[in-house]
Structures are given as C-alpha cells and as structure tokens.
Homo-oligomer: A and B are copies of this chain.
Amino acid sequence: MAGSTYGSIFRITTWGESHGKALGVVIDGCPAGLELTEEDIQRYLDRRKPGASSIATPRKEEDRVEILSGVFEGRTTGTPISLMVRNTSQKSGDYSEIASFYRPGHADYTYDAKYGFRDYRGGGRSSGRETVGRVAAGAVACKVLERLGVTVYAYTRSIGPVEADMERFDREIGRRTLTAMPDERADEAALRYLEEARQDRDSVGGCMECLVEGLPPGIGEPVFDKLDANLAKAIMSIGAVKAVEIGDGCRVSARRGSENNDEFHGRDGVIVKASNHGGGILGGISDGDRLVVRAHVKPTPSIFRTQKTVNRGGEEIEINIRGRHDPVIVPRAVVVMECMTALTVLDAMLMNMSARMPDIETFYRFRE
C-alpha cells in the first residue's frame, strides 16, 4: 500500500536508499524447488552497473548480492527469499549540498511535500539505485519463466534522435553494446550523439522496448488487472519513464479498424495471427503472440548547466549540480524493464493456475 510491494502471488517488497547501508528485496511466493544461486542474480545486477565511462557514471558500484533466506541446499524453499546488496562506495558528503534546495526534474520537492523531510543523500529512496531490489527479484522471476518456456528480452530502441534499425536487430548485439542497442551502427551513432550532449553539459532521453516470447494464450485477468494494464503500471513505475505503449501503441489512434485488426489464421492446428498490431494482448489477456511493450524515458534530470530553482523556503536561486551522472538513463534501465516485465508476466501466469475448475488429479498432482 505504501508503495514498495509489487505482485499478488509472486510478491516482492523492495527497500533501501541510495546512500543507506544497503538495498534489498524480499520475494514472497516464489514456488519451492527452483535451483537458485547468487550467481543467477548477480548476472542481472551486473547488467545495471555502469557500462563504460563515456555514457555511464564512473561510480564504482560493486553491488554484490547476498541470499539471506529462502534457499536451502541450492533450491528455493517456498518461504521468503531475502536478497541484499550492501552499499559500499556511496559517500554521503558528495550530495549534502542538495539538502537545502529542489533540483529540477527530481523528486526532492515532492518527497518533502509528502513526508515533511527527506533523505537527501543521492536522492534517497527516489534514486535509480532503488532498482537494485527490482533487478534482484526480477532475476529470480526470469529463472522461473525460463523453466516455463518463456523468455523476456529488452533493448534500447532509440537514444535522442538515433533509432535502432530493426532490420539489423540482433539480440546478442543488444546484450553487449554500451547503449544496449541491438544494432551496431545505431550504437555507434548514439555514442557520438551522447558525446555531443556531454560536451554541451546536457543529457538525452531515449526509448526502450521489451519482448516476451513463449507466453501461452490466456494469461492476464479481465477488467482492472489486464496484462497490459499491469505491464503499464510496472513499466511506468520505473523512474523517468513518461509513456508506455503496447504493440503499435500511440500509432493506433490515427488508424482505421481495417488496418489495425489482426486477422486470425490456423497454422498446423494452432491459432495464430497474421500481424501483431495488438502486441500480443487482446482484451487484456495474452493471445499467444509475442508481447511488445515500449517505454519512453526522459533525459537525466541532473545536467551540468546552471539551473534556476528554489530552496526549501521557496526563494529563487541558481544551482550547479555536481557529482557523476549518466547522460542517458536508458541503457541501464533496459534490464530494469526486463525485470519488471518478468515479474508481471510470471505473477499473471501463477494467478492463472486457478482460472479454471481444477480437476482433482491436477490439483493433487504432488501427492504420491
């Protein structure tokens, strides 16, 4: 209710601030019997680390995860999995000057308005570091999904005006470029654009996309907990995201029905669609096609130009933000999008297990 819990059956609760002692997550509702190691989770956390000095903050973030509970003899026990990452390199001194004023584009003012005061060190709970818990939990969700034949893949679609050429889309490339673009030429162009912005002491926005494959039809609940509604919430909850699209998204509003409807076909006894404008969801429920979700991310609000703002007393002042800040958020947010998508899809799949009257054999499948 107070905002740090997500999911119904596979439910996570994250905690921690940018400059606190640690950050972490508790997963309650992970099915028992999943093989799980710290390494499984570390791989995801490593993907949200700063990639390279030119586009990401050079802060050294070790972010070593520790499994504190819920795993025994290498397998999940069905009870809460507590995951923690100690903050090691944050120095409170770096940020203390922001205590007294409100940075444009940041949550400083709104946290003060809500709570009466705030942990101003590095943005506190509103910092991007909050996503450590999401990614640690998402790594577990991804592993469960894998076992059920479902894969989740996110990548950078555009940075500023530079867009990936989908003709050249290559998953492996998306995993290793600094921008997380799945197209090497676009990656290079984007890096040049970022370098320009940096020299302008400015930052840039971007767009990321997530694809889910292997999802059977029938996943998602009607009305309020539609799969697309829950995805929209999950993705919009990532800091700096300002728009979420499903399938063709915004483009549908200028279309005719005859263009936009996806015809059904039969192929080898399976029902498929001739196109996928809908992004794999009909009436809020998966249709067996590839899920397509897109998010638009604002430019990093911390820029190195003099900006006008007010202090806590409402007096107008000029400020210069110091410190280390990524000039673009998207490349490191890609793994967060992947994780939030995985958490949403897995929760919907588990929820769906009771959608139909279970026959007694299925219900008691575990009894010998």
Interface residues of A in 227-275 (CB under 8 A from B): 228-237, 239, 242-266, 269-271, 274
Q: Does A315 contact B (CB under 8 A)?
A: yes
Query: Known contacts A33-B116, A260-B298; is A79 also within 8 Å of B354 by CB?
Result: no
Question: Is B148 within 8 A of A358, CB to CB?
Answer: yes
Check A303–B261 contact: CB distance below 8 A. Answer: yes
Q: Which 3 A-B pairs have the closest CB atoms?
A: A107-B283, A3-B221, A203-B257
A366 to B77, CA, bound (A): 27
1/0 per position for A107-130, CB-CB distance to B under 8 A?
101110111111101001110001
In the complex, residue of chain B having the shortest beta-carbon distance to the beta carbon of A25 = B26
Bound form: Cα–Cα A22–B86 in Å: 14
Q: Is the CB of A356 within 8 A of B78?
A: yes
The number of times this chain is found in the oligomer is 4
Q: Mark A71-113, 1 if CB is under 8 A from B, else 0.
A: 0110111111110100000000000000000101111011101
Whether a CB of chain B sits under 8 angstroms from the CB of A362 is yes
Q: Are A205 and B253 in contact (CB under 8 A)?
A: yes
Give bound CA distance, A21 to B69, whole Å. Answer: 7
Q: Is the CB of B301 within 8 A of A114?
A: no
Distance in angstroms between the alpha carbons of A233 and B352 in the assembled complex? 19
Distance from A149 Cβ to chain B, minimum over Cβ atoms (Å):
6
CB distance from A169 to the nearest CB of B (A): 18
Please measure, in the bound complex, the distance between the C-alpha atom of A231 and the C-alpha atom of B247, giving whole angstroms: 19
CB atoms of B115 and A354 under 8 A apart: no
Q: A231-B236, A242-B249 are in contact. List 19 more A-B contacts (CB 8 A).
A: A1-B11, A17-B70, A31-B358, A68-B84, A69-B125, A72-B119, A75-B117, A78-B356, A79-B124, A105-B278, A106-B282, A110-B218, A160-B256, A205-B252, A226-B237, A261-B303, A266-B315, A277-B298, A353-B358
Q: A28 contacts B16, CB within 8 Å?
A: no
Known contacts A285-B107, A357-B33, A15 near B20 by CB under 8 Å: no
Closest to A363 in B: B148
Chain B neighbourhood of A66, CB < 8 A:
21
User: What count of chain A residues pass the 8 Å CB interface test?
Assistant: 173
Does A286 sit at the interface, judged by CB under 8 A? Answer: yes
Separation in Å of the A216 CB from the closest CB of chain B? Answer: 6
Q: Mark A192-204, 1 if CB is under 8 A from B, else 0.
A: 0000010010111
Q: A15-B26, A124-B79 are in contact. Are A2 and B9 (CB under 8 A)?
A: yes
Residues of B within 8 Å of A232, CB to CB, are: 229, 232-233, 235-236, 244
A126 CA to B72 CA in the complex, in Å?
Answer: 14
A290 within 8 A of B: no
Q: Contact: A229 with B237, CB < 8 Å?
A: yes
B residues less than 8 Å from A173 (CB atoms): none
Q: Are A77 and B262 in contact, with the CB atoms below 8 A?
A: no
